[in-house]
Every structure is written in C-alpha cells, then in structure tokens.
A and B are shown apart, each in its own frame.
Chain A
Amino acid sequence: MTQAEFLEEIDAITQADPGTTSLEDRLADLKSWDSMAVIMFIAMTDEKLGISLKINMLASAESVGDLARLCGWEGGDSVSLPNSGIAGSVAVAGA
C-alpha cells in the first residue's frame, strides 16, 4: 500500500474530504476519530495490510504518522507489507 493510499483510507474512516489528511495531522483533531474509527482502522489493517495491531500501541498513537508507523511505515512511499490475507497475519508490536 502506498502512503497516498494509506491516507485515503484514513480519509474514508474519518469521513474527511479525499486528499485532506496528512501524516502530520493529530488524531485528536480529526473530525471523526472515535471508537468506531479505531475499529474501522483495525479492520482496514487486517483486510488490506494483513496485520494484527496491538491495541495498547494503537491507544498511544497521537498522529496519523504514528498510525502509519504502527503499520510498519519507515518513512518511504510504502506503508507496511503487501496484503497477505487470512493465512498471513503478522503481529506488529510496534516496539
């Protein structure tokens, strides 16, 4: 998944206008970053990235960039591993 695609997913989850979310945005400032958005984010990472997030690490995320780093983003154009479906869930501890 590219960085742009990751941000598009966050736009959809938070019901923001497409292309408006950036990695620098603080989660607390996003329009609809609520408990349901957290669940939708978990579902997205499960379905499209094939990863299982530790919730305590997710709870400590403060920015969209933090979310991307939880998914394995290391600063390039690509966020995390290719989607590996049901059989390939990888636990991302974030530590």
Chain B
Amino acid sequence: MKAMIREIACHLPERVLTNDQLAEEYPGWSAEKIEEKTGIRERHIAGETECASDLAVAAAQKLFARGGVDPKQVDYVLLCTESPDYPLPTTACLIQDRLGLGTNCGALDFNLGCSGFVYGLGMAKGLIETGQAENVLLLTAETYSKYIHPGDKSVRTIFGDGASATLVQGAQGEEKIGPFVYGTDGSGAKNLMVGTGGGRRAQVIDAETTEDSSGNRRTINNLFMNGAEIFNFTLKAVPEAFSNLLTKSGKSMEEIDLFVLHQANRYMLEHLRRKLKIPDEKLPLAMAHCGNTVSSSIPIVLEGLAASGRLKTGQCLMLLGFGVGYSWGGALVHW
C-alpha cells in the first residue's frame, strides 16, 4: 500500500486586509508599492473569535463535500499549527469532535510553520505505509494575525490566515509520495518568533511597545521577524534541499514538472527561481490573494493548480517548505 494525495481543499477567513487599508495606516507605503515589493494584494484575517480549529474545520468540510471520503472513514487527523486554540488540550481532538469523526481515529497537533505541509505528508505516508492508518486527514491552519502588532508593517503586509485539508490515502501501485529531505537549524529560532505565552515566558501584561529602526512597533508578546536573516537562511537552505532531493530521487531538474515552493513573498521566490534556474512556467505563485499563509501556502498552490486544470495525472511535483524554526523539508509528489 502506497500513500497518495487524493484531495485538497482550502479555506480563507472572510475578513480581508487590503493594501489600500495598509497604505492608509502606513505613510510612505502606497498600495502599489506594497504589491510590487511583496507580490501580495490582500490577505485574509481571522475574526476576533475565529481560531485555527474553525479554519481547519471549514477546510475539512469543503473536502468532505467533494465526496472523496466519509468523515467516519478518517482514521487519523494530523493538524499543523503554531496558533492552537488552547495550550491544551490538543486542537486536533477538538476538530475530531466537531467534524463528527469516529472515536477510533487518532489525532495530534504538530507545531511547525512554513515547512509543516511537507512534514505532515511525511508523517501521513509513514502512518499509511506502516499499516497504522488508511485515511489520513492532514490539516494545516494558522492565525498569525493574532500574534501581529498592528504597528508592525514588516509582518502585517506579509502574513495571512488560512487553512487546508488534504486527504492522504493508501493505494496499490508505485510510490506516489517521496523521497523526502528534511532539515533543522535551531540557531535561527530567534529570527521568527513569538517570545511569550509558552513555558519559557508567560505573556507579559501591559508589555512595553518598542519601535525598531524601520518604524515597526511591537511588544515582547508579538510576532517578531528578522526578514534579512530569514532571507539569508533561505538562500542557503533551499538550494541545498533542492539539490539533495534531486540526488536522492535520481531525477534531473527537467523531469520535474512543477516546483511548488512555500509562498513566502514574491521577491524571494523569483530570486530563488533565477538562482535554481527553474523556468518561469514551472514555479507557480499563489499569494497575491492571500499572503503568506505559513503551512497552508503549499496546499493553497496545489488546490489552485488542480482547479485550473494545470495538474495532470502522472506529473512529478517538487514541494519545498522552509522557514520558522529554522525548519525545512522537501518531497516529490507524483500526482
């Protein structure tokens, strides 16, 4: 039995933050300049009482409505999120209940960001091919907006909230998912971080707001990103993962039909595309309408490609996720 991706459905929250709205708040930044620099026109933002589980449930319900699987057939739920509903219990347990999945279903959260979908696929493949599960519901859901200070344009322009649901099933035949490459460098942890609210340091009441040299304001409780360090990391990690994955698979670049990279920002992706010498038409972009949705960005690209008819049976895709942690992962997927 080999694992394969059977279906993908994504969900974005209703509320939209446009570049025009951001330009009104940040003097000197026009809507056009924001889009030119980031490739993003708008990003969706969770409502005040809307959590990661709400977005994940909505994505999963869309997937079930497409008829590929009955909820009662799902025997494992993997939820990738860095913004769980609660520190405990596991948000995936709440989702099992809300979706009406059987109580014979396994469920767990795993805390990863931009690399999360690739890691989730790896775990789903492992569960299926070791006979532990037959229908894995891989969910990604993020509400970074709840960590972001309204005065921090460096991250507010980039990140959007969203979720995805992917059905990974077993099937007879050749390998459809794999090989994989993984990487971790925790020395970069401080460069994309929320510094409070966990065991190391509780949330600070009435935390002081500081302003950096670029005029971005935040407190210790907010998301902090050192964009330059993240970019530098990406320039080293992604080419190495790309090369290692080709070597491990024994494939040449020309045998890969599409390269689906984490949608960090358009400038970074276009630079990577030139650096890796990937033809323009083989590196799809899908961030203008949603921003960087963290672990949902790769499945959002895949769903869009499928809906537009660009994905054909038999195509070989390279997925590369990279970012917060630092964590990175790559996989080949045979569609």
Residues of A at the B interface (CB closer than 8 Å) are: 34-36, 38-40, 42-43, 46-47, 52-53, 55, 58-59, 86, 89
A12 to B149, CA, bound (A): 31
Contact indicator B214/A52 (Cβ below 8 Å): no
Q: Does B32 contact A (CB under 8 A)?
A: no
Nearest neighbor of B277 in chain A, beta-carbon distance: A86
Q: Bound complex: CA of A35 vs CA of B267, how far in Å?
A: 13
Contact of B228 among A39, A47, A86, A89 (CB under 8 A): A39
Q: Are A39 and B268 in contact (CB under 8 A)?
A: yes
Residues of chain B lying within 8 A (CB to CB) of residue A36: 37-38, 227, 267
A21–B77 alpha-carbon span in the complex (Å): 56
**Chain B residue at minimal CB-CB distance from A38:** B228
For chain B, the count of residues having a C-beta within 8 Å of the partner chain is: 20
Is B235 an interface position by the 8 A CB rule? yes
| Cβ–Cβ contact B232 & A35, under 8 A | no
Q: Is there a chain A Cβ closer than 8 Å to B271's Cβ? A: yes
Q: With A52-B235, A52-B236 known to touch, is A39 a contact of B275 (CB < 8 Å)?
A: no
Q: Name which residue of chain A comes closest to B243, CB basis.
A: A86
Residue in B214, B236, B275 whose CB lies within 8 Å of A35? B214
B residues within 8 A CB of A58? 228
Chain B residues with Cβ below 8 Å from A42 are: 228, 231-232, 235
A27 to chain B, nearest CB (A): 10
Residue of A nearest to B38 (CB): A36
Whether A46 pairs with B267 at a CB distance below 8 angstroms is: no
- Residue of A whose beta carbon sits closest to that of B157: A36
Across the interface, A47 reaches (CB within 8 A) one of B154, B232, B239, B275, namely B275
Does B226 have its Cβ within 8 Å of any Cβ on chain A? yes
Contacts of B275 in A (CB 8 A): 46-47, 86
Shortest CB distance A50–B (Å):
10
Mark B196-226 against chain A: 1 for CB-CB distance below 8 A, else 0: 0000000000000000001010000000001
A55 partner, pick from B232, B239, B268, B274, beta carbons under 8 A: B232
23 sampled A-B residue pairs with Cβ under 8 A: A35-B214, A35-B228, A36-B37, A36-B227, A39-B228, A39-B231, A39-B267, A42-B228, A42-B231, A43-B231, A43-B235, A43-B267, A43-B271, A46-B271, A46-B275, A47-B274, A52-B236, A55-B226, A55-B232, A86-B239, A86-B275, A86-B276, A89-B236
